[in-house]
Amino acid sequence: MLAPGLPASLPLTTSSAMEKAQFDKFRALVYQLSGIHLAENKEALVIARISKRMRALGIGDYGDYYDRVLADRSGAELTLLIDAISTNVTHFFREPRHFDLLAGWVRAWEQQGRKSLRIWCAASSSGEEPYTIAMTVLENLARPAEVDIVASDISTKVLDKARAGIYRRQDIEKIPHELLRRYFQVGGENDELFRVKGVLSKMVSYKQINLSAPPYPVQGDLDVIFCKNVMIYFTQDLRHQIVSEFQRMLRPGGYLVVGMSESLSASKHELRPVEPSVYRKP
């Protein structure tokens, strides 16, 4: 709700530009909280992302909003700031080669007599990727197995959407028809909404995890860690810390999957490349 006496179309006092000193303060705060490195040319992005929160609070000055964030002892506004800044672009079966590989790994593990699998999706966004992982695992298991998929993100907003497991028709366009029929149901009276069935949702547990603050609250000996299209927002030093922790958490023979546009070539690690964007722990 806007503060009394302020118009709904509240103008920002510096709507076209933010003073560099103020922008640097926001950059430092976001990095401290999330590890996200905002380049100097991201001023417009920051203005666009925080302006909605400023209008909701009835604040017309960037400095006043910054002070409000710091003064909120509950941490709620800090969380909303990170929710606004973090980028969440995803869809079902994004970068499909990774799920083809996962299908092969699942079949091979089952042939080896494995009875359980543990997977961490470390940048889950609104749930499309972890549910794609769950579908891929189920479609390639010939016998029942214990499958534990942990999905995490720093944004509480996208985690709430992921837990709800409700998607619009345009969100599910990349899901093959047979899988859609098997794992989704029409969401109530609205045939434009689709809800994840329990067979998938019970496989995935969601946690808020800040990748910039290892060690992580996820049990080790993981078979696969998916961490796709997020490390590009971190500094090289932080990437090195994250990869080192991932390496520790993987079981011998486990896999780390990053985004197709990402590489670990600049990080020190002992993981062996399987193919571009996929690495295996010896």
| Count of Cβ atoms closer than 10 Å to residue 154 Cβ | 24
Return the DSSP state at 73. Answer: T
- The Cα 110–Cα 203 span in angstroms is 18
Q: Which is nearest to 230 in space by CA: 36, 96, 25?
A: 36
Beta pairing class for 250-258 and 278-280: antiparallel
- The Cα 65–Cα 42 span in angstroms is 18
Residue for token digits 């709700």? 1
195: tokens are: 């809800």
Alpha-carbon dihedral 37, 39, 40, 46, rounded to 10 degrees: -70
CA angle 235/240/241 to nearest 5° reads 100
Q: Which residues are catalytic?
A: 49, 153
Q: Which is nearest to 83 in space by CA: 9, 5, 3, 157?
A: 157
